Structure 1
Amino acid sequence: MRMYGLPIIPLTAFELLAGLVTSQETGNHPEWPRWCGKAYQPQYPAFDPGGEVVEPGAAPGGPLLHIQLQPRYSIYLESENQAEFIVNAGVSKWHGQPWPYLDSPATAPQIDFTISVASTSETLVSGRVLANTTGNLFTFDLSRLKPTLEPYVILLSGGGGSGGGSGGAAVAAGGATENVTAKCELMFLPEKKHGGSVTKLDHLNGGFLFRSPATGGAFEPFLPFGYYASCDNFLCDGGYENKVRAYKDLGLNSMVSLTRVRDSRPTYKYLDELDMRYMYDLRGSYRNLTAVAEQVSVIRDFDGLYSYWGADDAVRRARSPRPDGHQDPFDLLPKARALIRKLDPYHPVSVTLNCQNFHFGEYTAGADFIMEDVYPIGINTSTLSKWGTPCNQTYGDCGCDNCQGNVQDVASRLDDLARYEEWLGVWPKTKAHNPQTFFGEGYWSRVPTDHEEVAMNALAFNHGAKLIASWVWPFSDGLGKVMGDFSLAVARSPVRDFLVSGRPARVDIAGHKLLDAAYWVRREAQGQFQLLVCVVNGGYEPISEDVSVFISENLRVEGMESVVWGNASWTPSALHDDDYVRGAVIKIHNQSAMSTNMATFPASSML
């Protein structure tokens, strides 16, 4: 969702014509003004907007074996010697194929498989995985492949092995299992000829790896943290150098740049000088492949480029008195992404979702990662909207689609997106959060407080987000400072490395429904680990009593290393089961209202 009053990038006459040619909209009643597929003006009735992802019916005959295959990273370069495949052998109610003993997966036959190149049948990996396991990594030698700008089609094929308990014994005795298959693409690219940056996405944990002259030519974990950066009064201003420097000095490390390179080339060169990394905006051009090609051909070799902003599902049109979204044909972003990949396979493409559940699968099909717009603070969910209509699943626009109007909407939306991927049976994509740092337009009665702002960002991390891009700069110097302070705390090592290279383990805290807790684990050396723990009190009342965060790993926590954020106090201890120490518990004391607390702890293995 985008505020109307902000300037749009001027379109050429050709681009305007191309937009008209491709303006066919999707969903029900495209002839009416709609937002997220729903009518929002009182002269139009409510109707089913369609496009919902719903939970599939369970497969008859019990759970299924769902084999999935992906390369560890979205791209590999010819300067690299080795690569990895990820093999998932999950148990699913909806997707996959029959497999013996999945009601008790520990007794199910193991899966023996080979991974090969489709065009040559050359085997890259032979391996074995257990049923009901995911994230299994298998290394192979890249010297067996030639770098190319075209993706390799990779095939996994296999069947039941003899291990895995009674099911494996049955296979060894002549029992039958079905053959298993999976397919993916592998990008093994030549080195870039003209310099500039390269970005990888981690298909295991979701994070970004970034390489540029500023990193010494080595890939490093990257947690983008910043704003959408306006052209007016910022990037296109005559004093842009001082303004960009002041933005960086806040502690922010990235932006989504809302100006075209042909109009602001000196600005982009200055961003490169400062190592201010940016996502390049193609949202206004993706419907016109000629405009996409013109821009990508120029910006692709700049040092600070880390990705492209491809499209929104239902973007608000700037300078419009109405929120009518594009709701464009589903094939537009896949076509744009295919062209971008042809011109620049070294950087990923994003899509932004304003809608809670409107053709999720179709709109995300052409994206490498997904950003969500959840702007819940100060919205009116209890009475009529600014348009005089109620807001619900089938009607109205209140500024945040199907939101409750609290910070928990951020966590709920990220959980929704992950759930849709599971229901659709697709590999999960990297997620990003676009925080609210504005108010007005008849939707938002106030700006978020500093504490609400930090809480929404921390909730995004707890629920798997790997990128923060707030709408919009310049707007509020006060929120800019707290965003910069939080960026300095989380977007640099060591916290960055937890958030980028790991996955949050969620912790349910009984009796406190507004507490949201998660932790990350990093291996430091043999038997030595580090923990990052984040607890968000998303309520407007303090919590004075001790709250226990249980670490469900075989770890012993040995004191506290550092406080990352917040003013609560922490006490680690062992978790006992009778006389047996089976893990760790970390107690947090005296949490303020609407507060975020993060800390790191050293730990060691108990195995």
Structure 2
Amino acid sequence: MLDEDVTRIPNYGIFKLIFYLTSLGRIFGALGQTWCGKYYKEEHWGKSRTPYGSFQRGEDPLGPLFAFQCVPRMQFYVEGDDCASSVSVLVDTLTTMTPLRHASPLPFPVASITLSMTLRLLPRRQPFTLTCSAELESDSSANEMLVTSSPLFYLPSPTSGSATSIDRKTGALMTRAMNGTFQAVFPIGFYTDFGGYLAGNLSILDEIRSQGFNTVHPVPPFDNMTAFNAILDRMEDLGLYLISYQDSESVSAQVKSLKHRKNLLLWYTADEPDGPGDPLTATRAAYDLIHELDGYHPVSIALNCADHFFEDYVSGADIILPDVYMIGNNVTFSTKYNTPCTKDFGCCGCDDCEGRFEDVSKRLDEARNRLRILGWDKTKFIWAVTQAFGGEEFWSRPPTGREWLVQVLLSINHGARGIMPWIDPTPIDIKQYASTLAKLLPDLVPYFFDGEGSFTHITHGTVDVGIWTSGPRALVLATNMDTHASTFPLPYGEIKRGILWLLREGVSLHSTSALAFEPLGSAILILSHSEEVLKTVTLEHDEL
């Protein structure tokens, strides 16, 4: 029988791996309510209420734990793909003192392996289950066995439309063209107003494409379906990817009408459900329904709260977009509700924020760490919603172009693999900086998504740096989070062969071995640690 098909992997010394393919069940959550679990209106001031729904990290273990994960490298495989006949499997083992949900108190050695197995299956819509067994071989006692499983999707080739899978090793979205080839995509594009902007002028899409953006996320309500369909048609013509916002009351009808679009990138089912406290089952229910109706595109949600039922809402998403809006607002007193904002009271537009750029990196780091504890770090990924608005509600002003760029580079350095600013129309200087970055993506993507490369993160004072090394070259994203000048020593010491500057905003060479940053300065550059001579090139944002 198909479900009994077994592929055995040879003994790799410390453990043996056995793969089984079976069917899969479903998981559902619980229920919750209110804005991040806190009172926030003036009439509630003085009432005591402990915020609820915080993430349960678990107790620290008494001894080392062994964490064992085994997942298909791709979110799904499609019949006819180049890689479908040989499935890569990501196998991670880790000895840790962190209370990971999937860890056991076994003193296994540390190892990380990527294996391939031949797929002897017929494609189908229902998932198989990949089951991996790790066996600890011991000369003095009985062998120990640990088992973990993960769904494996091998889908029939779609009869129309697109397919978007996720490369779980790199976090890249892999979009499938109608000719069957896949390409890696780093999505960059704005949430974009529909009724007051896009609906009135189709040429806006041409301008967006010429500015280098590859994605548009139209924001409802879509009260003019003639204009909406014309927009989607034009996006297809221009090669702009679509992120489709699903109304919770009509998910079925919307998915059926849009899943055949050739430029559909992914679904978006919930915008800040953790704020007002949507039912905890809502995101998972929408996820399961969309998978049943489509199954060829990931599902995303945006989260607003620092810590409110994270596990429940995220259970219904493949991609999580934290939105951290800390520029131009008073994070200790709500100008909208005329109340203080504390750990257990208030809403200031940026939950549990300090009004610093570190709020962005902290939120992304916390989300990634929670995914790791839950055992979801190989199957769910983080993007960023950067602030590109102001002058309303809590925010007295929008970010400057430099401030927007700091948010973006900080987000990428802390794991974001897609950038979706809120909202377009946006100030001109933000759009200029965003366009510059978008046009640079073809040079950056090979570093971000090099499965054999390495990544190093460094914080040097107020300078945040990400370094992607691929072969003899290293891509460097560096940004100064402070309103004071700073410096950063370059990782390869004295520069003798030049720097390939891709973007330089308030950054210069300090001697020949360090970068000097103006307040809120940022740079993207390529260094070489070989005999290769790099041509020195500078692209400033106002040249594009």
- CA change 1:153–1:604 in 2 (3 A) is farther
Match of 1:38 in 2: 38
Q: Does 1:596 align with 2:522?
A: yes
- Where 2:339 maps in the other structure, the secondary structure is coil
Deviation for aligned residue 1:407: 1.9
Deviation for aligned residue 1:217: 4.1
Q: Does 1:519 align with 2:467?
A: yes
Gaps of at least 5 residues in structure 2 are 1-29, 532-544
Deviation for aligned residue 1:590: 2.0
Deviation for aligned residue 1:558: 7.9
Match of 1:562 in 2: 500
Match of 2:117 in 1: 140
1:548 corresponds to which of 489, 495, 503: 489
Using the alignment, how far apart are the partners of 1:604 and 1:56 within structure 2?
A: 46
Q: Deviations over 1:103-156 (max 9, x none)?
A: xxxxx5xxxxxxxxxxxxxxxxxxxxxx3234x2111122x1111111111111
- Where 1:269 maps in the other structure, the secondary structure is helix
Match of 2:251 in 1: 292
2:96 corresponds to which of 82, 92, 98: 92
Gaps of at least 5 residues in structure 1 are 1-24, 101-107, 109-130, 162-170, 316-324, 523-527, 573-585
Using the alignment, how far apart are the partners of 1:443 and 1:138 within structure 2?
A: 51
Using the alignment, how far apart are the partners of 1:587 and 1:82 within structure 2?
A: 46
Instruction: Give the residue type in structure 2 aligned to 1:139.
Output: S
1:139-538 equivalences under 5 Å are: 139-142=116-119, 144-161=120-137, 171=138, 173-194=139-160, 196-213=161-178, 217-237=180-200, 239-240=201-202, 242-259=203-220, 260=222, 262-263=225-226, 264-282=228-246, 285-286=247-248, 288=249, 291-314=250-273, 325-428=275-378, 429-489=380-440, 491-492=441-442, 494-501=443-450, 504-509=455-460, 512=461, 514-522=462-470, 528-538=471-481
Q: Deviations over 1:437-485 (max 9, x none)?
A: 1113330111101111001000000001011111111232332122111
Using the alignment, how far apart are the partners of 1:404 and 1:333 within structure 2?
A: 29
Q: Verify the 8 A CA contact 1:515 1:538 in the aligned structure 2.
A: yes
Match of 1:74 in 2: 75
Instruction: Give the residue type in structure 2 aligned to 1:518.
Output: G
- CA change 1:155–1:532 in 2 (3 A) is same
Q: Verify the 8 A CA contact 2:131 2:150 in the aligned structure 1.
A: yes
Q: Verify the 8 A CA contact 2:123 2:156 in the aligned structure 1.
A: yes
Q: Verify the 8 A CA contact 1:431 1:466 in the aligned structure 2.
A: yes
Match of 1:126 in 2: none
Deviation for aligned residue 1:556: 12
Using the alignment, how far apart are the partners of 2:150 and 2:197 within structure 1?
A: 42
Q: Verify the 8 A CA contact 2:402 2:521 in the aligned structure 1.
A: yes
Instruction: Give the residue type in structure 1 aligned to 2:136.
Output: G
Q: Verify the 8 A CA contact 2:334 2:394 in the aligned structure 1.
A: no
- CA change 1:91–1:560 in 2 (3 A) is farther
- CA change 1:558–1:362 in 2 (3 A) is farther
- CA change 1:250–1:38 in 2 (3 A) is same
- Where 2:144 maps in the other structure, the secondary structure is coil
Deviation for aligned residue 1:193: 0.8
Q: Deviations over 1:152-207 (max 9, x none)?
A: 1111113113xxxxxxxxx2x3334421111000111111112x221111212212
Using the alignment, how far apart are the partners of 1:571 and 1:377 within structure 2?
A: 30
Q: Deviations over 1:533-553 (max 9, x none)?
A: 11111111122x5x22447xx
- CA change 1:185–1:258 in 2 (3 A) is same
- CA change 1:46–1:249 in 2 (3 A) is farther
Match of 2:535 in 1: none
- CA change 1:153–1:566 in 2 (3 A) is same
- CA change 1:277–1:47 in 2 (3 A) is same
Query: For structure 1, which segment, 46-55 or 479-488, has the greater mean C-alpha deviation from structure 2 after superposition?
Result: 46-55
Using the alignment, how far apart are the partners of 1:557 and 1:499 within structure 2?
A: 23
Match of 1:49 in 2: 51
Instruction: Give the residue type in structure 2 aligned to 1:592.
Output: E
Deviation for aligned residue 1:89: 0.6
Match of 2:513 in 1: 587
Would you say how many aligned residue pairs link Structure 1 and Structure 2? 488
- CA change 1:97–1:26 in 2 (3 A) is closer
- Where 2:421 maps in the other structure, the secondary structure is strand
Q: Verify the 8 A CA contact 2:80 2:180 in the aligned structure 1.
A: no
Match of 1:123 in 2: none
Match of 2:8 in 1: none
Instruction: Give the residue type in structure 1 aligned to 2:212.
Output: G
Deviation for aligned residue 1:427: 2.9
Q: Deviations over 1:304-338 (max 9, x none)?
A: 110011113437xxxxxxxxx44111111111111
Taking only aligned residues, the RMSD between alpha carbons, in angstroms, comes to 2.5
Instruction: Give the residue type in structure 1 aligned to 2:259.
Output: R
Instruction: Give the residue type in structure 2 aligned to 1:497.
Output: P
Using the alignment, how far apart are the partners of 1:501 and 1:48 within structure 2?
A: 45
Q: Deviations over 1:75-120 (max 9, x none)?
A: 11111322211111112322322323xxxxxxx5xxxxxxxxxxxx
Using the alignment, how far apart are the partners of 1:176 and 1:97 within structure 2?
A: 17
Query: For structure 1, which segment, 500-509 or 391-400, has the greater mean C-alpha deviation from structure 2 after superposition?
Result: 500-509
Deviation for aligned residue 1:571: 8.7
- Where 1:455 maps in the other structure, the secondary structure is helix
Q: Deviations over 1:280-318 (max 9, x none)?
A: 001xx22x3xx2111111211111110011113437xxx
Instruction: Give the residue type in structure 2 aligned to 1:180.
Output: L
Using the size of structure 1 for normalisation, the TM-score is 0.76
- CA change 1:571–1:603 in 2 (3 A) is farther
